[in-house]
Amino acid sequence: MSNRKVIIYIAASLDGYIATKEESLDWLFQVEGEGDNGYSAFYETVDAVLMGKKTYDWILNQELPEFPYKGKETYVFSRTAAGSTEDVTFISDGITSLIADLKKQSGKNIWLVGGGELIALFIKEQLVDELIVTIAPAVIGNGIPLFKEGEYKLDLSLKGTKTFNQFVELYYEVKK
- Domain regions of the chain by residue span: 6-174
Output the pLDDT for position 42. 96
Half-sphere exposure of 45 (CA within 13 A, CB side): 17
Output the pLDDT for position 2. 65
Output the pLDDT for position 102. 95
What is the C-alpha separation between 79 and 116, in angstroms, rounded? 15
Instruction: Classify 6-174 by CATH class.
Output: alpha beta
Output the pLDDT for position 111. 98
| Chain segment 79-89, per-residue pLDDT in tens | 887 788 899 99
**How far apart, in Å, are the Cα atoms of 168 and each of 18, 102, 111?**
15, 30, 19
Output the pLDDT for position 93. 85
User: Is residue 128 within 8 Å of 112, Cβ to Cβ?
Assistant: yes
Three-class SS of 22-43 = CCCCHHHHCCCCCCCCCHHHHH
Output the pLDDT for position 1. 53
Q: In which residue ranges of the chain is pLDDT below 50?
A: none
Output the pLDDT for position 80. 85
- Helices (H) then strands (E): counts for the chain: 5, 10
User: Is residue 110 within 8 Å of 50, Cβ to Cβ?
Assistant: yes
Cβ-proximal residues to 115 (8 Å cutoff; 6+ apart), any chain: 18, 19, 51, 52, 54, 55, 58, 144
Mean pLDDT value across the chain = 93
Output the pLDDT for position 170. 98
